[in-house]
Each structure stands twice: as structure tokens, then as C-alpha cells.
């Protein structure tokens, strides 16, 4: 099993969800996060004062999948979240040794 973490632009969430649903992936956790990479941030004007926005709003998606589905999920996210501009995000893949469904006690892939 693998945990896929993707950092994407907030307005791309619906596109990514639709792409994952089309591939049969149903479970997804979404967290609002802030950060920066090469994008670095930008300046904004508020009530006549200019200030720097260093940390940009992003969404972190967490998707637990079977090993067989990893490449399919990565491709779906990468295609749906791509705008071709800086700051589109990153995808991370982690190995997961075990999962337990709290309600039923199921373990491993059965708990996905």
C-alpha cells in the first residue's frame, strides 16, 4: 500500500476529484495548507498598505491506494492539477506498512 500526498492549487481540487473518481478512486483527505517553493509569494495592497504574502494557500491531498493503483493515481493528479505555470504543486509517495479500519477492525488492503 502507498500513501500519495499531493500539494495542489486550491482551484484545481474539483478537477482532481473528478479525475480520481473516473479512475475508481473514492477515498481522499483534503487539508488546507500554506507554503512556497519557486513561486516565492507576491505583494498585495490592503487599505493602501503594501504587504508581502510569503506563504501561498495550497491544498494537501492524501490518498491511500494499493500498489497497483499508484501510477494511475499519480497520472490522474498530474494531468488534472497541471496549469503549466509555476506553483502547480508536487506529488509524494510513501510506503505504508499497515492500515486498520476502526469501525470493523479490518487490516491491510481490506481496510482501504
Domain ranges in the chain?
2-111
Q: Spelled out in words, what is the top-level CATH class assigned to the domain 2-111?
A: alpha beta
Would the CA dihedral through 25, 29, 32, 38 be positive or negative? negative
| DSSP code string of 22-70 | HTT----EEEEEEE-STT--EEEEETTEEEEE-SEEEEEEEEEE-GGGH
0.75 cut: is pTM over it?
Answer: yes
List the pLDDT tens digit at each of the 112 positions of the chain. Answer: 999 999 999 999 999 999 999 999 989 999 999 887 776 666 666 677 776 777 888 999 999 999 999 999 999 999 999 999 888 999 999 999 999 999 999 999 999 8
Q: What is the pLDDT of residue 49?
A: 75
Amino acid at each position: 500500500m502507498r500513501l500519495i500526498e499531493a500539494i495542489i492549487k486550491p482551484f484545481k481540487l474539483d478537477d482532481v476529484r473528478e479525475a480520481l473518481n473516473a479512475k475508481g478512486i473514492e477515498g481522499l483527505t483534503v487539508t488546507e495548507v500554506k507554503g512556497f517553493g519557486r513561486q516565492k509569494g507576491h505583494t498585495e495592497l490592503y487599505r493602501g498598505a503594501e504587504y508581502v504574502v510569503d506563504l501561498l494557500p495550497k491544498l494537501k491531498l492524501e490518498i491511500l491506494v494499493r500498489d497497483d493503483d499508484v501510477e494511475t493515481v499519480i497520472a490522474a493528479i498530474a494531468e488534472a492539477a497541471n496549469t503549466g505555470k509555476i506553483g502547480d504543486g508536487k506529488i509524494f509517495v510513501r510506503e505504508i506498512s499497515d492500515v486498520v479500519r476502526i469501525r470493523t477492525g479490518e487490516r491491510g488492503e481490506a481496510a482501504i
